[in-house]
Each structure stands twice: as C-alpha cells, then as structure tokens.
Amino acid sequence: PVPGDGAAIVAAVRAAAQALVAEEARLTDLDGRVGDGDLGLNLARGACDVLAGIDAYGSANAASILRFLSATLRKSVGGTSGALYAAGLLRAARELDGIETPAARDWSAALASGTKAIATLGDARLGDRTMLDALLPAAETLAAHVGESGALDAALEAARRGTAATAAIASRRGRSSYLGERAIGTPDPGAEAVLVWLGALRDALAG
Ligand code: ADP
Ligand code: MG
Ligand code: MG
C-alpha cells in the first residue's frame, strides 16, 4: 500500500526513525572506522527529535510532513548528513506540493528529486563512496518499477548492491576521502544509514 494520508505517512516515518535509533551503535562504529565516528549518534538524535514531534502531523499532507522532517534534521542532526538530508527532504517536499494524496509515482518522483538535490549540494555522484551509492540506484529502480508490487523491495535490493560496492572503492567525498585506499573493506556509513531507514519504510509499508 502506498501511504497517501498523514496517518500512514506518520506510521512509516516512525518506523524509519525507530530503526535509526536501534542502529545507532553500528552506524557510529562504521563512521568511526572511516570518518569521525558521529554518524549513528547524529542520526539517532535527529530521529528522536522526529519521534518527539511527528504525532502532530497525523492529519497533515505529505509535503508538510517532509518539511517538518527537513527542518528537524537540519536542526538536530548536524554534520554533513544533516545538511544533505535537510536539502533532499525540502526538495522532495516541493515535488509533493499541491498533491493531496500522493500515489506511488509521486513518491518515486520525490525520491528522485530529493536524491538529485543531495548530489547537487554535495557535488557527488555514483561511485564517490557516499550515501548516493545507495540513494541513486534506489531512486532509479523505484522509478523503473513504479506501480508494481515489490517496487520498494527492488529499490531496497538496488540500494543494498550499491552500498556493498562502496566497500571496494576509495572515497572522493567527505571525511573518508582523507583515508583514500584505507577505506577499502568498509562500506560507506552514510549508504548503510540509507539501508536502515529505507528497509524500515519497506517493512512498515508491507505490514
Ligand atoms: P561528517 O561527520 O563528516 O560531517 P556525517 O558523519 O554526518 O559527516 O556523514 C557521513 C556520510 O555523509 C558519509 O558516509 C557519506 O555517505 C555522506 N557524505 C559525505 N560527503 C558527502 C557528499 N559530498 N555528498 C554526498 N554524501 C556525502
Ligand atoms: Mg561523521
Ligand atoms: Mg562529524
């Protein structure tokens, strides 16, 4: 089922935020190996603030909810991820403006636009060993299967493959770029974080 009404969107957002809280230690450990070790902590703090404020949005439209997420993550996540997610969510919100009940095609367009905004702000592309290595294949696959059952499963699987591939490449963006070849063997923490929230969204929407 595609979440169109506020209550369904809020339930899916809750699931994604709870998953980020649950994976805090693993994400922080990953970022500790190839970055400054704050990613899990930062995302969990943002997720807690989302959980604290989301209940007011049960009858809001999709664009308002995404704007709330953008503003909350901008304030409480910090770091590179906070700025990039805030920009992506704001762009995704604009894509859904004026759509009372978004359908699968609208969500797919929102994911594609948000991902593009992240790539523009971060000046990064596929293969740079960033969250985009999960997001770009996910957005592309969702667009290719939009409206089919299992579209989100296929998108998640594409994000998994893209994330796994980051373990084999040296970084060109973000802190891990300082490590160069030494990052090889560890997947990008930001891409792993995408798998966490995307996986939770998939489970919430399937259940
Ligand atoms: P930092 O602590 O370095 O400010 P975070 O820990 O919040 O950053 O996030 C690190 C993640 O952000 C990386 O694993 C990567 O996925 C993503 N990232 C870093 N730089 C960029 C960029 N220029 N474009 C897209 N994503 C990026
Ligand atoms: Mg970090
Ligand atoms: Mg940091």
Give 194 Cα–ligand 1 centroid separation in angstroms. Answer: 12
81 C-beta closer than 6 A to ligand 1: yes
131 C-beta closer than 6 A to ligand 1: yes
Give 14 Cα–ligand 3 centroid separation in angstroms. Answer: 25
- Ligand 1, atom nearest to 77 Cα: 7
Dmax (CA) for the chain in angstroms is 49
Does 96 reside within a domain? yes
Full-model pTM:
0.96
Does 197 reside within a domain? yes
Predicted confidence at residue 4, as pLDDT, reads 67
Does 1 reside within a domain? no
Give 164 Cα–ligand 2 centroid separation in angstroms. Answer: 19
Q: What is the mean pLDDT of each run of 10 residues along the chain (207 residues)?
A: 81 98 97 94 98 95 97 96 98 96 96 98 96 98 95 98 93 79 88 98 89
ipTM rounded to 2 decimals: 0.99
Predicted confidence at residue 203, as pLDDT, reads 95
- Ligand 1, atom nearest to 79 Cα: 4
Does 154 reside within a domain? yes
Q: Measuring from atom 9 of ligand 1, which residue has the nearest CA? A: 81
* Smallest-distance ligand from the CA of 87: 1
186 C-beta closer than 6 A to ligand 1: no
Number of domains within the chain: 1
Does 51 reside within a domain? yes
Q: Measuring from atom 20 of ligand 1, which residue has the nearest CA? A: 174
**Range of the structural domain that residue 135 is part of:** 6-206
> Is 96 in contact with 62 (CB distance < 8 Å)?
yes
Does 133 reside within a domain? yes
46 C-beta closer than 6 A to ligand 1: no
Q: Assign residue 90 the CATH number of its domain.
A: 1.25.40.340
* Smallest-distance ligand from the CA of 32: 2
130 C-beta closer than 6 A to ligand 1: yes
148 C-beta closer than 6 A to ligand 1: no
Does 188 reside within a domain? yes
